[in-house]
Structure 1
Amino acid sequence: MEIAAVDHGFFTGIAPYPAAPTYREWQGQQLPFFFDDQPTRPLLELLPNSRARINADVISAAFYLLSGWQEFYSEERDQHGRFPYTASVQHRYGFVAVPVVNYYFDVLKTAVEHVTGQPLQPRRWADGATWATFITHDIDNLYSAWKEPTRAALSQGKALEFGRMLWRHFTKKDAWDNLELVQQTVAEYGAKSTFFFLPENRKAANGTPNADYNIRREWPKLAATIGNSEIGLHVSIGAPYHAHLKREEHRLQHLRNGVKAYGVRFHYLQWEPRITPVILGALLYKYDSTLGFAEHYGFRNSYCLPFYPYDFAQNKACYFLEIPLNVMDATLHHPRYLQLAPEEILPSLTPMFQEIERFGGVCTVLWHNDNFDPANIRNGPREFRAIMEYLRSRNPAFVNGQDICAQMSPPSS
């Protein structure tokens, strides 16, 4: 088997972006191919005598996207220290909702099957399912449902309504103190909830909020409510270089009688590619599930399966698994993100779900507990249920992070 290897020299430099890709068709999909110097030749030639030739440098293109090279070498960051979607090649060339690297690997798979004469069997998840779904909840707020409507009533001079809301706040349970409802709703679909708890309740130095609850005070109630659900660490925003991560890890671990969280997700999806992977590896977490664009659903690394991130410093794979985040509730309706109407949400997401199913991947959904509040009619419980109805109809394995780690083989040392 021959695979084109272009002498482009790109990876000896520090430029974040290669030349514009060419486009080729594979399995009915128009796909971008970076580092393609033979665009007029067929993408794949299946030749006599069990030979095959791939005329695009799919290895370089896959490494570029999967490694996150663009964000490692780009200086672009938003107000939360994140690599912005608008600076990405996925945005520039319009393929954020297409797992391009999976298509590259499908070209390789077809070539290998031709050369060996043997079909490569796809991965199977629990109970023989062909793909999987990972339902997660970041617990940022438990006691703030009353604030915005009360503030609105006050600013509009609705004194009676303001008084009623204050009375309700002091005498009734907050609508966001709802983890039992969250768990029950997810369980109705045969799925599991993974809860990421935020141990820091102080604001970041720039005023960005962290948790609205004191985890030490609330933990006995929270632990009893969620039972045996998987618990992850939701790392706060604000401190440089995630120096606070170890402190927050110890805080949550102490509350859990020494049991370490299996995985993490960073608040506001904050991720500094030059630092965060090194720290996660040093602290021996099994998985992270931060890597998705806050601004758009899809595939930040153009891949729909969990993978071991690239360690640029050591020139090898990291030892924690990345479970990519595909869709977050806030992404779907937010002043700075998408502003989809409720009836647009499922039709917009369905092609992405179909791509994940096609390649036997993992669909990771983040739905915050506050968006299970019935008062939310934009990206609330009704929209979550519509997504879950669709997913259940496609028969995935509903898994948690520990299940995924057990399924995926670690990299060889």
Structure 2
Amino acid sequence: MELLPEKQAIIHADLISAVFYLLSGWQEFYSDERDQHGRFPYAASVQHQYGFVAVPVVNYYFDVLKTAIEHVSGQPLRPRRWADGRAWAAFITHDIDNLYSAWKAPAKAALQRRDWLDFARRYWQHLTQKDAWDNLTEVQQTVAEYGAKSTFFFLPEHRKAANGTPNADYQYHRISKSVAALVTAGAEVGLHGSIGTSAHEAQLQRAIGQIPRLAHNAQGLRFHYLNWEPRITPLLVDELTFAYDSTLGFAEHFGFRNSYCLPFQPFIFQRGEVADFLEIPLNVMDATLHHPRYLQLAPEEILPALTPMLQEIERFGGVCTVLWHNENFDPANTRNGPREFRAIMEYLRSHNVAFVNGSDICRSFHHLSSGACKGPSQPETKSF
């Protein structure tokens, strides 16, 4: 970029096209690459090819435009501020897949060792004691210790998908009182769309109806296994008038799937326009950090690995979206468990982050009355 006299600037690159390519998900829409779960794989992305998954490139492009505009106009552009005037924000979320299965892996291991006494002990504990993953209140209280709010995404489907992929190990109607208690305590509740709902309107509509709190006001959404079919899902989510989605992150690596660290309205290629709902990108998931097919970071490696990405989000006043499953609040997990979660929360709090939930983010983007982040009872309007 050249800043010239007489308030002129020349940018020697087509930044607008580059921004559109990354932010719209062009690479996903026009690619047939999919993994075993039907997802666009990180290995096929430009972020992987050129090694910038943890760098919000679109924000850097916008920063170039900001510098040019300030030079030409002679006026500084003020950065966005979050709650209490803080520079950046964190969105703490939990996908609730399992509540009653903590006993299964150690019991299976006991069987494989032919340790009948240990197996009998674990099975008896399962029958007589609360499961270690039945911990929704403990999760909320842990998050609240840091002055933060929890957003819980619940799966209404407990049956396995047609391809054998598991959904919930619980039936939502049996835990509805526990969910109500979370809401009373200040938590936010959203839909965790089961396998298949990201591509089938009838299935997604039925899932909404199974969670009464969403039936008349479909607010937040994240799809199970981060399923997202770019040729179908954005249109589907928009037509069912969700306020926001928070699915778009790579399962295989932390960072920025659309190379942007702020919420945005996804582009719907079929219409040639942006959606009404807000996408709140997912930046870091517990399973990504230690999983046989993913990063396999040692506990002491997690925060140092994440820190450069967190610094980028802070630099641009973005939102750090964290997904930590309730099962990984189990003290028995010493790899990507409660200790590692607390280290991340300590970092966020010590860097003066604003802890927000999805509704807070919607309000901060001023879309509640102009399109995005509306509920289904509000009038249909567009926001560009």
TM-score, normalised to structure 1's length?
0.87
Residues in 2 aligned to 1:215 and 1:412: alpha-carbon distance in whole angstroms: 34
Measure the CA separation in 1 of the matches of 2:173 and 2:224. 19
Alignment partner of 1:304 out of 252, 261, 265: 261
In structure 2, how many angstroms separate the alpha carbons of the residues matched to 1:257 and 1:311?
A: 24
- Sort the Cα spacing of 1:367 and 1:325 in 2 relative to 1 into closer, same or farther, 3 A: same
Which of 260, 272, 285 is equivalent to 2:217? 260
CA contact (8 A) 2:198 2:204 kept: no
1:336 matched to which residue of 2? Answer: 293
Match of residue 52, structure 2, among 95, 103, 106:
95
Would the aligned equivalents of 2:23 and 2:259 in 1 still touch at CA under 8 Å? yes
Structure 1 distance, partners of 2:181, 2:366, is 33
SS of 1:249's partner is helix
* Cα offset, 1:396, TM superposition: 1.0
What is residue 224 of structure 1 aligned with on the other side?
Answer: 181
Q: Does 1:237 align with 2:208?
A: no
Q: Cα RMSD over matched residues?
A: 1.2
**Could you state the TM-score of these two structures normalised by the residue count of structure 2?**
0.94
**CA–CA separation in structure 2 for the residues paired with 1:172 and 1:353:** 39
Name the amino acid aligned to 2:278. L
Deviation at 1:259, TM superposition (A): 4.3
Separation in 2, partners of 1:141, 1:85: 26
Structure 2 Cα separation of the partners of residues 329 and 300 of structure 1: 16
Cα distance, 1:77 vs structure 2: 0.4
Question: 1:298 aligns to what SS in structure 2?
Answer: coil
Q: Secondary structure at the match of 2:258?
A: coil
- Out of 271, 278, 285, the residue aligned to residue 314 of structure 1 is 271
Matches within 5 A, 1:8-407: 44-227=1-184, 228-238=186-196, 241-243=199-201, 244-253=203-212, 256=213, 258-407=215-364
Deviations 1:63-90 (A, max 9, x none): 1001100000000001111000000000
1:218 CA drift (Å): 1.8
Partner of 2:376: none
CA displacement at 1:337 relative to structure 2: 0.8
Alpha-carbon distance change, 302 to 257 in structure 1, aligned in 2, over 3 angstroms: closer
Q: Deviations over 1:93-132 (max 9, x none)?
A: 1000000000000000000001011110000111101110
Alignment partners' CA distance in 1, 2:20 and 2:78: 23
For 1:282, the aligned partner's letter is E
The CA distance in 2 between the partners of 1:143 and 1:398, in whole Å, is: 29
CA-CA distance at 1:225 after TM superposition = 4.2
8 A contact 1:291–1:324 mirrored in 2: yes
Mapped partners of 1:375, 1:125: distance in 2:
36
- The CA distance in 1 between the partners of 2:59 and 2:283, in whole Å, is 15
Mapped to 2, the partners of 1:323 and 1:240 lie a distance apart of: 16
Provide the rounded CA distance (Å) in 2 between the counterparts of 1:226 and 1:162: 37
| Partner-residue secondary structure (3-state), 2:175 | helix
CA contact (8 A) 1:374 1:380 kept: yes
Structure 1, residues 43-78: CA drift from partner, whole Å, max 9, x if none? x10000010010011111111001100000000001
Partner Cα distance (2:366, 2:197) in 1: 33
Contact 1:290 1:324 in 2 (8 A): yes
Structure 2: distance between partners of 1:265 and 1:257:
13
Partner of 2:373 in structure 1?
Answer: none
**In 2, distance between residues paired with 1:324 and 1:104?**
18
Deviation at 1:409, TM superposition (A): 3.6
For structure 1, the residue ranges without an aligned partner over 5 or more in a row are: 1-43
**Maintained 8 Å contact 1:200/1:248:** yes
Match of 1:241, SS state, is: coil
Paired residue for 2:383?
412
**Is the 2:55–2:259 Cα contact (8 Å) retained in structure 1?**
yes
Partners of 2:296 and 2:215 lie apart in 1 by: 42
Q: Which runs of 5 or more residues in structure 2 are unaligned?
A: 368-381
AA aligned to 2:137 is E
Q: Distance in 1 between matches of 2:324 and 2:82?
A: 23
Per-residue deviation, 1:223: 1.9
- Which one has a bigger Cα radius of gyration? 1
Alpha-carbon contact 2:153-2:192 (below 8 Å) kept: yes
Which residue number in structure 2 is paired with residue 10 of structure 1? Answer: none
Greater Cα offset, 303-312 or 241-250 = 241-250
